[in-house]
Structure 1
Amino acid sequence: MKKNCLCLIFLLLVTLVFTRCSPDQNRSTVEVKPLRDKKVKIKDMFGINGFEWDFYDNHYNFDTAKYSLIKTFGGFRHFLDWDRIEPEKGVFRFNHKPEGGWSYDEIYHKAHQDSIDVLIDLQITPVWIVNTYPAAKRQRDLIPIDYKAVRDKPSSYKEIGKAGFQIAARYGRNRNIDKRLIQVPKESADPVIGLGYVKYVESSNEPDKWWKGKDCEQTPEEYAAQLSAFYDGHKGTLGKGVGIKNADPTMVVVMGGIAKPNVEYVKRMVEWCKKNRGVKKTGGIDLCFDVINYHMYSNDYTGWFASFRSKGRGVAPETNDMTKIAVSFTDYVKSLGQAIPIWSTETGYDLSDNSIQRAIAIGAKSKELTQADWILRLGLMYARLGIDKLFFYQLYDNNDPGTETSNPFGFSGLVSKNKRRPASDYIYQTTKLMGNYNYYNTISNDPIVDIYKLGNKMMYVLFVPDEVDRKEKYQLDLGSGTKTALIYSLNPGSDQMITKEVPTNDGLLELETTETPIFVQAK
């Protein structure tokens, strides 16, 4: 009897030891499913802001070296001053090259050929409207209506609606437009229409610009009236040749990114649409925009949202209110029951030591490498939260090297002359590796472990969401039977990530994660 008991105890101990050594111990059996229906591609998180001269040299020749840098990014938000296409009221021009200048046709065609999504941001009130104001009130950021026009009436914004029509007629996809409506005198004999180069147009930039004064700041209701004219000529009531949709119904109208990222602004715009545009036959509110858009820069100034202790600098994107604010927008869209994309067309970090947007050196990393970490993680964060597109500010620095001003955005460029900075190196390498992968789900929040998928292929992205040089161990389960894995590490100054093939313990992989993302794939 004693012998049998001893044998039984021995067998139990052996079983316990082998069970503890098994790599299957404590493995989760929960199936990871997509977090949401929408599929956010990683390359859509890395657009850039810029200007027409970013494509040209000083002699107005298309600059292939500069353009190769632009091709790093999945989208280009073009700050287009209204004056440049309509220097006189009712007189449009889009190709300035014959007289010495830039060609918007050339810019948009090149981008279209290389699958770079162009977002035209029609901004800055033209001089011929500014001059209707008294001399003491004139400035470039005035609301785009004549002096003393009624600010909340769509008819006051008819001129910007006409400009929208001309843009959509030329760069949209509709080739069945009455050419008598085209106002390009130099092409009167054979006007250009339906080029199909551009899909997205934005009306104004930061319409809530309170820091410029009341002549520049629009209420949600006033801006909605502008958008209604710009969108479809206030449902066609402003006459022919007014509104984007009346030139090309497929073109997407993006609301101007609001500077104060408060969802209440959008809610009031929606209420204005419900009251002044009504409800569609399908039951949804007849909105005058196709995309919601807000701006937010990741710094420690939360201002109107919360109290704070300012460090006077930028902060890691996961450490402030960016997540909370993004969720306020995505939750609101869900409540509307209408599938409205949400974009953020300006965000980023500066490299000036005097900027409240500045990235900082962390541990052995320079501020340029921290800027690269934070910008990449910003894109990953917004994909995780369900934001549909993201554009960084901006391609080149506003300030010349060695100069300094009070402008907090003077050195926010992601490229320098004809060279990528580490931030754009990271973007280039990431989109090259997995640009068409869709965000799938997140299986850990600290360290963050995101899953991206492309068909049956799966990519894991891991990093620590902090700004103190923190490191964390993580055991990644790539699935029983997976013998080896590929680990991709970002490599500043290069076109290629560093790739390492490593063995797994029956699919389990022990990793050290840092504040710089790494990418892991089962082989």
Structure 2
Amino acid sequence: MKKTNQIINSILITFIVFFACCTPDRKEYVEVGALRDKQVKMKDMFGINGFEWDFYDLQYNFDTTKFNLVRNFSGFRHFLDWERIEPEKGVFRFNHKPEGGWSYDEVYQRCFKDSMLVVVDLQVTPSWLINTYPENRRQRDLMPISFGDKRDAPSSYIEIAKAGFQFAARYGQNKKINKNLIKVPKEAHEPIIGLGYIKYIESSNEPDKWWKGKDCEQSPEEYAAQLSAFYDGHKGKLGKDVGVKTADSTMKVVMGGLAKPKVEFVERMVEWCKKNRGYKKNGDVDLCFDIINYHMYSNDYTGWFARFKSKKRGVAPETNEMSEIAKGFVDLSSKLGDMPVWSTETGYDISEKSVQRAIPIGSKSNLITQADWLLRLGLLYARLGIDKVFYYQLYDNNDPGTDPGTSFGYSGLVEKSKKRRPAADYIYQVTNLMGDYYYYNSINDDPIVDIYQNGKKRMYVLVVPDEIDRREKYFLDLNQAKKAIIHQLNPGSDNMITKEVATKNGVVEVEVTETPIFIEAK
């Protein structure tokens, strides 16, 4: 009997080994569903920050070559100094070209015709308001109120709210504004209104700027008071020519990007709105902003909001707290009716002196690492549900060879010689390949494997989330496809390097690196 059992066991083992050897290389393909209803398009991760002179030559002629470099990006965040449109209190101008200067009409019209999203950041307190302060306290980043005004009263912010009205009246969509309310003396005979070029405006930049001192740093309650005036004249209480929504109800007000990416700041703004603006008829809080906005630069020198032992350099976006902070803002968004969340400043510098610097990795230069990390940052934010991203910035602030060691002097994605850097090359190539694809889901964490979808078309994006030149093998299941098309980024070119490879039972084996690769089935 014992011998019989041994024979039966031997037969069973033989059958198990036989069937194991005959098992196909691939497991049964499992269809992945969408992670969320929100469809974050790849191109929405590729906005840029810049200035009006980024569109012009030195003679104030519109420069088509420079404009084509701007068009490399899906959105343009315009740093607009308030004084440039209101040089004197109550006196506005938007077209400086006849006297030698830039025309905001021309810039915004060209972007509008090219379907480029523009968000205008009305920033920097004008000198005529700064001069209300004692001489020893005057600086460009003062909070936008007259000296001595109450910091948490909406009425104290009436001047910037009036500027918001004039801007929205001109560049918004409302053509039925009382023209007697328009304060553009040079066009008094026929004021220009309702051009329809701009849909988004931001009130101030980084209102929580603690490094500038208490005359510049606003609390959440103080900034909410500013936004309430700027948004709709504090629900219409401040006058007929006060507030963006008073001029154009369709224009969206973006809250100023927070320098400290703290969700609590926005939560306190919401509480201020509950107390001072109340609720809408549908029961929602009557908020004075349409879009949540924060800034975060991926570095390990972040002692102002986290605890790190700093190497004083930039780091790969997946290796610090960027994901957790983004999740916090997205969670808050869901509590506010899925209000959009933007990050209107982020990026890396290439100066060896900058605490924001990208570093050489393996055979890659710091420029290639800057390109890798920026692209991976866009992928990370799309994965987490951030709606739009704008990088800092188009051109370097500093000229070549003049490095004072500032954090953001060489953060440009385009050379002043009008040539794209690798980061802009990557953005151009990815936009052409899959700009309209939206984030669908992820199927692996390390290496990261994201799925993007566009109709019935699907793209897989693979990357190792590290900064040590790590490489990993991955077997990607393409559901019985006979071939895979692999797209590799190609710095210095308009085009990716693309190749077709045969699969094995629908599975393709690839080496994944810290530079993203893009794969689709054929």
CA gap 1:55/1:7 in 2 versus in 1, 3 angstroms: same
Q: CA RMSD in A?
A: 1.6
| Counterpart position of 1:350 | 349
| Counterpart position of 1:134 | 134
Which SS does the other structure have where 1:345 is aligned? strand
In the TM superposition, 1:188-337 aligns within 5 A as 188-334=188-334, 336-337=335-336
CA gap 1:512/1:242 in 2 versus in 1, 3 angstroms: same
| Counterpart position of 1:123 | 123
Aligned length: 516
Which SS does the other structure have where 2:474 is aligned? strand
CA gap 1:361/1:155 in 2 versus in 1, 3 angstroms: same
Does 2:17 match 1:18?
no
| Counterpart position of 1:507 | 506
> Cα offset for 1:176?
1.2
Of 36-45 and 229-238, deviating more is 36-45
Which SS does the other structure have where 1:460 is aligned? strand
Which SS does the other structure have where 1:311 is aligned? coil
1:131, 1:138 within 8 Å by CA — same for their partners in 2?
Answer: yes
Structure 1 outlier segments of 4+, above 6 Å:
4-11
1:294, 1:344 within 8 Å by CA — same for their partners in 2?
Answer: yes
CA gap 1:367/1:9 in 2 versus in 1, 3 angstroms: closer
The amino acid of 1:131's aligned partner reads N
Of 117-126 and 31-40, deviating more is 31-40
1:350, 1:358 within 8 Å by CA — same for their partners in 2?
Answer: yes
The amino acid of 2:104's aligned partner reads Y
Which SS does the other structure have where 1:377 is aligned? helix
Structure 2 distance, partners of 1:384, 1:271, is 29
Structure 2 distance, partners of 1:405, 1:55, is 26
| Counterpart position of 2:83 | 83
CA gap 1:11/1:133 in 2 versus in 1, 3 angstroms: closer
| Counterpart position of 1:107 | 107
1:94, 1:104 within 8 Å by CA — same for their partners in 2?
Answer: yes
The amino acid of 2:506's aligned partner reads G
> Cα offset for 1:24?
3.2
Scaled by the length of structure 1, the TM-score of the pair is 0.96
Structure 2 distance, partners of 1:237, 1:137, is 31
| Counterpart position of 2:481 | 482
1:384, 1:441 within 8 Å by CA — same for their partners in 2?
Answer: yes
Structure 2 distance, partners of 1:462, 1:254, is 33
> Cα offset for 1:13?
4.8
| Counterpart position of 1:61 | 61
Does 2:362 match 1:363?
yes
Structure 1 distance, partners of 2:70, 2:256, is 23
Does 2:409 match 1:410?
yes
| Counterpart position of 2:378 | 379
> Cα offset for 1:420?
0.1
| Counterpart position of 1:498 | 497
1:302, 1:321 within 8 Å by CA — same for their partners in 2?
Answer: no
Structure 2 distance, partners of 1:408, 1:13, is 62
> Cα offset for 1:309?
1.5
> Residues 399-436 of structure 1, C-alpha deviation per residue, up to 9 Å, x if partnerless?
01000113210000000021000000001100111111
> Cα offset for 1:387?
0.5
Of 296-305 and 447-456, deviating more is 296-305
Structure 1 distance, partners of 2:414, 2:336, is 40
| Counterpart position of 1:163 | 163
> Residues 295-340 of structure 1, C-alpha deviation per residue, up to 9 Å, x if partnerless?
0000002314433221110000000110111111111222x24221
Which SS does the other structure have where 1:267 is aligned? helix
Structure 1 distance, partners of 2:412, 2:491, is 16
The amino acid of 2:222's aligned partner reads E
Scaled by the length of structure 2, the TM-score of the pair is 0.97
Structure 2 distance, partners of 1:385, 1:124, is 32
Gapped regions of structure 2 (runs ≥ 5): none
1:254, 1:289 within 8 Å by CA — same for their partners in 2?
Answer: yes
Which SS does the other structure have where 1:245 is aligned? helix
Structure 2 distance, partners of 1:212, 1:389, is 28
Which SS does the other structure have where 1:493 is aligned? coil
Which SS does the other structure have where 1:449 is aligned? strand
Which SS does the other structure have where 1:76 is aligned? strand
CA gap 1:11/1:135 in 2 versus in 1, 3 angstroms: closer
The amino acid of 1:262's aligned partner reads K
Structure 1 distance, partners of 2:459, 2:346, is 26
Which SS does the other structure have where 1:132 is aligned? coil
> Residues 199-241 of structure 1, C-alpha deviation per residue, up to 9 Å, x if partnerless?
1000000000010011101010000000000000000000101
> Cα offset for 1:364?
0.2
Structure 2 distance, partners of 1:195, 1:144, is 27
The amino acid of 2:26's aligned partner reads D
> Cα offset for 1:12?
5.8
> Cα offset for 1:10?
6.6
CA gap 1:165/1:512 in 2 versus in 1, 3 angstroms: same
Structure 2 distance, partners of 1:328, 1:116, is 29
> What percentage of residue pairs aligned between the two structures are identical?
69
Gapped regions of structure 1 (runs ≥ 5): none
Of 304-313 and 354-363, deviating more is 304-313
CA gap 1:499/1:134 in 2 versus in 1, 3 angstroms: same
Structure 1 distance, partners of 2:348, 2:425, is 15
Structure 1 distance, partners of 2:291, 2:347, is 21
2:260, 2:305 within 8 Å by CA — same for their partners in 1?
Answer: no
Which SS does the other structure have where 2:345 is aligned? coil
> Cα offset for 1:7?
9.0
1:75, 1:118 within 8 Å by CA — same for their partners in 2?
Answer: yes
> Residues 178-200 of structure 1, C-alpha deviation per residue, up to 9 Å, x if partnerless?
11111111111111111111110
In the TM superposition, 1:424-439 aligns within 5 A as 424-439=424-439
CA gap 1:160/1:487 in 2 versus in 1, 3 angstroms: same
> Residues 35-69 of structure 1, C-alpha deviation per residue, up to 9 Å, x if partnerless?
11111111111100000000000000001111111
Structure 1 distance, partners of 2:446, 2:433, is 24
The amino acid of 1:476's aligned partner reads L
Structure 2 distance, partners of 1:440, 1:12, is 39
1:394, 1:414 within 8 Å by CA — same for their partners in 2?
Answer: yes
Structure 2 distance, partners of 1:494, 1:240, is 53
The amino acid of 2:365's aligned partner reads S
